[in-house]
Amino acid sequence: MIVVATPAEAQRVRDLGTFDGVRPNQLTGYGIVVGLDGTGDDNFEYVTEAMRGTAGRMGLTLPPGVSPGLRNAAAVIITAELPAFAKPGQTIDVTVSTIGRARSLRGGSLVLAPLIGADGQIYAMAQGNLAVGGLGVSGRDGSQLTVNVPTVGRIADGATVERDVATGFTDNGELRFNLHNADFQTAARMRDAINVRFPGAARIIDGVTLSIVMPFGSDVRSEMIAEIEMIEVTPAESPARVIVNSRTGTVVINSAVRLYPAAISHGRLIVRINEDPAIIQPAPFSRGVTAQEEASEITLEEEGSRVALMQGGANLSEVVDALNMLGVGASDLVVILEALKQAGALQAEMVVL
């Protein structure tokens, strides 16, 4: 299958990159899910210690040597994303995943657990009932049925933000804007478009970053950023690239691909070998033995050899038309593209997945 990547059209600045510091932050935590219907963890030591710690926070001390039942509880890893400018008291979604041998989290509730950032500080507290989209059942004879993934659940608004992240949004006289994809021409076009609206405000730092002079004060600065984000810019055309997924046979060709003059001949050679052995019986009283006489028939057939001529500078539509005219399959198409690249006729980067 050939997928054609069309030329870029005008896009908003907000779709091409982000302002420095205006970014989400990842949070992780460790906790216990309780209330499971016998689908929890086995008697793992780390789960036992976690249960003791949870009970201790509630003022309950388990006697030495007493192991809590764990079939109705599971140790889990909690992950969440803290949005930019999130403030204490706001809520965020969390994802809960088992780390032991629990079979399902369906019907479970997460006990209060802290969510920690990369700096080791607690930024949110998570708790709530899980919504699990998967289902797993088993019979006494060992048969099992699993739908989706029952060991991962989600809690909508399951964590409350306890600490905000300093972004430096109003501290400096300049803010940096980082493109998603490095490209000097796109950066130049964006600089020019911003300077038309705010003369002299933007300058290029490198192929990814622009520096934009900003007024002090969160109100006027936010208004200026809102206007900049809605400015439309036509990004530069991507480098010529052909992406081939050899496992699925998918080929993606962008509009920058060009060809030098080339002739492509494609045909299929089929070799068939048929074996038809014959059994030979000895003559009566000859003291001979029964034998097998091999009889092989080899045939060779060449199907549909065609030649396609591609003129120099052929554009994307001409490349696709020529390849379709050859009537090649997915695996043959990959071979042809690689051969064109080796011959120096394909002016593109080949990316094989």
Q: Please give the CATH architecture assigned to the domain spanning 10-21+168-233.
A: Alpha-Beta Complex (3.90)
Q: Looking at residue 129, what is its pLDDT?
A: 92
Q: Looking at residue 18, what is its pLDDT?
A: 86
C-alpha span between 338 and 345 (Å, rounded): 10
C-alpha span between 196 and 187 (Å, rounded): 14
Nearest to 22 by CA among 166, 187, 230: 166
In which order are the strands placed within the sheet that holds 174-179? Answer: 17-19, 174-179, 209-213, 202-204
Q: Looking at residue 269, what is its pLDDT?
A: 46
C-alpha span between 101 and 75 (Å, rounded): 9
Count of CB atoms situated within 10 Å of the CB of 79: 15
Q: Looking at residue 43, what is its pLDDT?
A: 58
Q: Looking at residue 79, what is its pLDDT?
A: 94
Count of CB atoms situated within 10 Å of the CB of 302: 9
Q: Are 212 and 194 in contact (CB under 8 A)?
A: yes
Domain parsing of the chain, residue ranges = 10-21+168-233, 25-161, 241-352
CA distances, 124 to each of 26, 57, 82, 120 (Å): 11, 18, 9, 12
pLDDT in tens, the chain (353 residues): 444 444 557 888 888 888 887 888 899 998 888 888 877 776 556 566 666 666 666 655 666 665 555 677 888 899 999 998 888 999 999 999 988 788 888 888 998 889 999 888 999 999 999 988 765 555 555 555 566 678 888 999 999 999 888 776 777 788 889 998 888 888 999 999 999 999 988 999 988 899 988 888 878 888 888 898 898 998 887 777 777 776 776 777 777 777 777 666 666 545 555 657 777 777 776 677 777 776 656 564 555 555 555 555 555 566 666 666 666 666 667 777 777 777 777 777 777 77
Q: Looking at residue 122, what is its pLDDT?
A: 92
Q: Looking at residue 123, what is its pLDDT?
A: 93
Please write down the HEC assignment for all residues of the chain. Answer: CEEEECCCCCEEHHHHEEECCCCCEEEEEEEEEECCCCCCCCCCHHHHHHHHHHHHHCCCCCCCCCCCCCCCEEEEEEEEEECCCCCCCCEEEEEEEECCCCCCCCCCEEEEEEEECCCCCEEEEEEEECECCCEEEECCCCCEEEECCCCEEEEEEEEEECCCCCCCCCCCCEEEEEECCCCHHHHHHHHHHHHHHCCCCEEECCCCEEEEECCCCHHHHHHHHHHHHCCEECCCCCCCEEEEECCCCEEEEECCCEECCEEEEEEEEEEEEEECCEEECCCCCCCCCCEEECCEEEEEEEEEEEEEEECCCECHHHHHHHHHHHCCCHHHHHHHHHHHHHCCCEECEEEEC
pTM for the structure as a whole: 0.64
